[in-house]
Structure 1
């Protein structure tokens, strides 16, 4: 796992611009604390920061191979979980290897198959290859978008990096944010290719971007296709169990300490059970970690998203599998620490406004990093198996918008926090409607499928191509900010393709959410977790948290020239900070967090706003 960056300029000599490349590379130091390296040619420069996971001494980058027609150099971030099989296949084709790293396997895979190497990979990855034979840069991102990857076309080439901050370190990139960038920030639709920064784009998941003297060219090598599912219930459950077991086993491969993120829900508990069983075969005890808040279990109050606290279920799982478990306990002081907020904003490059859910994730990962370098997570199971509550809400199913927005409008509504003129200019509702129509039009349907099955396929497609990408980006940024690699078994494309094409009746055959996952993994789960209703990532219920937010926002209000008021409605903010903390919930609480995020983001990034 690493941070990558680079620069291609066909009309310049980049061997004279090493200082700029070094500055770009340094921004990725958090992603790669173990090593750094650069590679420079006249028209291409590559930078790399390494977090050593596999072949600690042999996987240094940038990595290059000399061919009779020119050098081929690569910077790579991620893991190819099938690199052992690919290495054997390539060796059989005559390739010789000098390291045991998956990086070298991917590079030789490109030499053998060209851009089609992407079709051979199972894993999470973002990598760039400068091919001097054709004077072209090839950028490839994994199918689900697990690893972030951005690029910024320039007059004579392109800048790229794992994160926007690497690109913004180059003087050729302007820190401009326009209305289009802000619309997505407040809309929660995860428009494919979006970056907050004007002129910067994501390499979309499952996509190859090639840059040559003719410009920028894109090619989609993977997408979700509709395929008829012919397996019966028993066979389907068995296939999910087989896939899950193989995936977890593959993703446990590392030369550094590993652990599992355990929340006590079905998803993380299934990963925990399968991982513990595998490690037990080698006489190894699994480590598990969870995050909680002081007093949360004793004072828990059910709400629209959470029926029960996590702690009792976490204890049941840890006891069953015999893991070495640790709870990371947090209080309002830690969750509202301005330095933690600034660290999160710097990690994500955007003022996301998720407050304690972002802060707690960052602090959890920071605590884990002192003991482990790799963690497995249950992220994305709800998108794959249809686990969210709104999948089963008839009114949401009928809504003509993104399901998560229809279900949680009050929680995510930004209409009040923005100044009226800004709200009118952005017209976020129209933006959401346009994005929804675009997203629905991209769903392939099976001929003869019922209207209900088509609707539920659309639901699943929206989550797997939109919502999940936001969650994966959030988890990657928070973990890599402290040098922790988080792996997501539920994003294995084989599992995603298979479950995506199972009919909704199979996904809910026992009358509950995530039937396939529950029955495929119940052999490694305590009964309490098998019976548990879906509960999302925890959020603190301590009123002291909101009170601390209000106090910090009062300090912002006392700074009349803060650029945050170019976007935020001062009158609305004044009213909310004077409200009883126990009454500040949903959209109001989110608005406080968004305001504080924007305040610090303006200070850290000094962006230029273009709202004309």
Structure 2
């Protein structure tokens, strides 16, 4: 519902300037164009930008206790706030608004940091407690709401987006090469890494506490699948389908609560279609607005899903808006996509998402429900099926295979588990891209040596659950609901809500046996059983269709002047991050008329290089130097 930012001077050494805090807040005005506020008291400065969603006339932040000793700002939604509010009122707490996030302040007073475990929502908040000079930052279970911080000279500086932190004159700009290495190796960044040295992404399901002058990061929630030998309850399939249906319905009811218009994204696939159909069941007399991207030109037929989108829109009686998109818009929107994502991109489809959220805003809708999270928890990617097929095939291994097995053991505690790519051979490819100077310090930033995934939650787990856990950590949190979700929605002052990312639903999905999630190699089998009650067969029985927008080969062959400049030999050499000779060879290959990347299985190396160079440009980042490349140790 907004953007938060601020400063906590741990040792009370500095004077916090109002102009600094307001400048930080103004940098994220797109997250909250409806209202701005600033609070300064001694060693605390809090900045706030509001996107009004609930209790439009009130809900001003910060929230204070009566004596103003405890102060809170929050970005997000607390979906179970009515239950928590009733509980706290029985304990004598007085509420001054009907805004959902006010419960955060009173719950903290009653339960301390333990209250975070009781929240169901998407949130990032900061609490300043002057009673004991402590400070608290927290991020929701799945990392839907971003929250970044840095500590410089014992000054904690934080924000919903890094561009707010960069407005503080104490923050120096330098590239974190671990973040760049992650973008090459995985779907995107992985918390706590960012693209900015010494700027840390608070991990999902964590809170950061400053108390008695000490800073500590603490985990309050993580999904922890049962060991493979776990005996699941002997329940029929119908039980799991019925329970999944009811929990998902409740999740959608929660996310329909708003005092502004609510709509939904409609891709034509299973997840968004089911959300739309369930919205119709909950409010049968309401015709919600639905929004989709279409590709009307003839050469885009393979990814144009308008036929299915129209079937669903008619089925649920939504007021449907199709946004036509053509490839020239990629070039026009690419800088904007990088600016809002604050990182390089592995593909160009964020430009489509920007066009989508822009049209939502222009339609007067402020809240959008969308289907992220289903694939990660219920087995919606082809990798889940491949795991089963791979386990049934005899394999003869050569030396390269054995080296990959050794890497898989290091990464996933399982030599036979394949995730994303063959990392040994791919690492050699990426090192060929890096400049000689960057490669001199490769061991310090190699993302495979310290990925930050809790391997204890992989050991002894079923392959389905290993993949689900890794998809949540490496694909979902910092990519699909961050640079591809939250950031491109808030770029146009739109709040995205994610019914499949509900903590109650995640805790229930954990109890479903893996053979019911993927039965007879049918991806998301149990969800499709639910969908049979809501959708036409041509929708729920569809094979998942991945969306792939054209990448760097398309842009290069169109000979766009500014893109050619971004990838020019002189610029690459001057910036110092990549080997200009390697980039030149790749450009010649990618420009060939018969060259085609098999996305998403191949890596578009040059789109990462191109968008990294855009990143350097839009954030005024320095060229490579050894002094800026020293290893960063993350606080924990």
Tell whether the 8 Å contact from 1:385 to 1:517 is kept in structure 2 after alignment.
yes
Structure 1 residue corresponding to 2:133, chosen from 129, 132, 135: 135
- 2:399 aligned with 1:406: no
Equivalent residue number for residue 95 of structure 1: 93
> 2:507 and 2:476 mapped to 1: Cα distance?
15
Equivalent residue number for residue 441 of structure 1: 455
> 1:513 and 1:6 mapped to 2: Cα distance?
44
Equivalent residue number for residue 266 of structure 2: 262
Equivalent residue number for residue 215 of structure 1: 214
Equivalent residue number for residue 296 of structure 2: 294
Equivalent residue number for residue 614 of structure 2: 600
- 2:475 aligned with 1:471: no
> 1:44 and 1:71 mapped to 2: Cα distance?
11
Structure 2 residue corresponding to 1:485, chosen from 476, 495, 520: 495
Tell whether the 8 Å contact from 1:411 to 1:586 is kept in structure 2 after alignment.
no
Equivalent residue number for residue 51 of structure 2: 51
SS at match of 2:65: strand
- 2:362 aligned with 1:370: yes
TM-score by length of structure 2 reads 0.86
> 1:284 and 1:162 mapped to 2: Cα distance?
33
Question: 1:47-126 counterparts in 2 under 5 A?
Answer: 47-67=47-67, 71-126=69-124
Equivalent residue number for residue 240 of structure 2: 236
> 1:226 and 1:598 mapped to 2: Cα distance?
36
> 2:262 and 2:426 mapped to 1: Cα distance?
35
SS at match of 2:271: helix
Residue deviations 1:516-557, cap 9 Å, x none?
111122211111111101122342599865533665432335
> 1:51 and 1:24 mapped to 2: Cα distance?
16
Tell whether the 8 Å contact from 1:293 to 1:540 is kept in structure 2 after alignment.
no
Task: Name the stretch that deviates more: 188-197 or 85-94.
Answer: 188-197
> 1:167 and 1:267 mapped to 2: Cα distance?
35
Query: Measured at CA, do residues 62 and 92 of structure 1 come closer, stay the same or move farther in structure 2, by a change above 3 Å?
Result: same
Tell whether the 8 Å contact from 1:179 to 1:426 is kept in structure 2 after alignment.
no
Q: CA deviation at 1:59?
A: 0.8
Tell whether the 8 Å contact from 1:332 to 1:548 is kept in structure 2 after alignment.
no
> 1:555 and 1:262 mapped to 2: Cα distance?
37
Question: 1:376-415 counterparts in 2 under 5 A?
Answer: 376-394=369-387, 400=408, 403-406=418-421, 415=430
Q: CA deviation at 1:574?
A: 3.3
Q: CA deviation at 1:580?
A: 2.6
Q: CA deviation at 1:571?
A: 3.1
Query: Measured at CA, do residues 573 and 157 of structure 1 come closer, stay the same or move farther in structure 2, by a change above 3 Å?
Result: closer
Structure 1 residue corresponding to 2:314, chosen from 319, 333, 351: 319
Equivalent residue number for residue 592 of structure 2: 580
Tell whether the 8 Å contact from 1:195 to 1:201 is kept in structure 2 after alignment.
yes
- 2:463 aligned with 1:461: no
Structure 2 residue corresponding to 1:570, chosen from 576, 580, 586: 580
Tell whether the 8 Å contact from 1:391 to 1:397 is kept in structure 2 after alignment.
no
Query: Measured at CA, do residues 414 and 132 of structure 1 come closer, stay the same or move farther in structure 2, by a change above 3 Å?
Result: farther
Unmatched runs of 5 consecutive residues or more in structure 2: 392-404, 413-417, 631-636
Large movers: runs of 4+ above 6 Å: 407-414
Tell whether the 8 Å contact from 2:184 to 2:430 is kept in structure 1 after alignment.
no
SS at match of 1:284: coil
Equivalent residue number for residue 448 of structure 1: none
SS at match of 2:70: strand
Tell whether the 8 Å contact from 1:507 to 1:516 is kept in structure 2 after alignment.
yes
Tell whether the 8 Å contact from 1:375 to 1:486 is kept in structure 2 after alignment.
yes
SS at match of 1:491: coil
Query: Measured at CA, do residues 15 and 434 of structure 1 come closer, stay the same or move farther in structure 2, by a change above 3 Å?
Result: closer
Structure 2 residue corresponding to 1:332, chosen from 327, 351, 357: 327
Structure 2 residue corresponding to 1:179, chosen from 177, 184, 196: 177
Equivalent residue number for residue 395 of structure 2: none
Equivalent residue number for residue 304 of structure 1: none
Equivalent residue number for residue 633 of structure 2: none
Q: CA deviation at 1:421?
A: 2.1
Equivalent residue number for residue 396 of structure 2: none
Tell whether the 8 Å contact from 2:572 to 2:578 is kept in structure 1 after alignment.
no
> 2:65 and 2:282 mapped to 1: Cα distance?
37
Query: Measured at CA, do residues 576 and 217 of structure 1 come closer, stay the same or move farther in structure 2, by a change above 3 Å?
Result: closer
Q: CA deviation at 1:29?
A: 0.4
Residue deviations 1:232-256, cap 9 Å, x none?
3221111101111111111011111
Q: CA deviation at 1:183?
A: 2.3
> 1:413 and 1:8 mapped to 2: Cα distance?
43
Count of paired positions = 591
Task: Name the stretch that deviates more: 88-97 or 415-424.
Answer: 415-424
SS at match of 1:176: coil
Task: Name the stretch that deviates more: 473-482 or 568-577.
Answer: 568-577
Tell whether the 8 Å contact from 1:164 to 1:349 is kept in structure 2 after alignment.
yes
Structure 2 residue corresponding to 1:274, chosen from 272, 278, 300: 278
Structure 2 residue corresponding to 1:253, chosen from 244, 250, 257: 257
Query: Measured at CA, do residues 586 and 105 of structure 1 come closer, stay the same or move farther in structure 2, by a change above 3 Å?
Result: same
Q: CA deviation at 1:64?
A: 1.2
Residue deviations 1:6-41, cap 9 Å, x none?
101144476651111111111110111110101111
Equivalent residue number for residue 344 of structure 2: 351
Question: 1:480-519 counterparts in 2 under 5 A?
Answer: 480-509=490-519, 511-519=521-529
> 1:96 and 1:104 mapped to 2: Cα distance?
10
Q: CA deviation at 1:599?
A: 2.5
Q: What's the RMSD between the two structures over aligned residues?
A: 2.9
Equivalent residue number for residue 436 of structure 2: 421
TM-score by length of structure 1 reads 0.89
Query: Measured at CA, do residues 321 and 171 of structure 1 come closer, stay the same or move farther in structure 2, by a change above 3 Å?
Result: same
Tell whether the 8 Å contact from 1:258 to 1:373 is kept in structure 2 after alignment.
yes
> 2:263 and 2:87 mapped to 1: Cα distance?
31
> 1:406 and 1:444 mapped to 2: Cα distance?
18
Equivalent residue number for residue 305 of structure 1: none
SS at match of 1:66: coil
Tell whether the 8 Å contact from 1:564 to 1:598 is kept in structure 2 after alignment.
no
SS at match of 1:291: strand
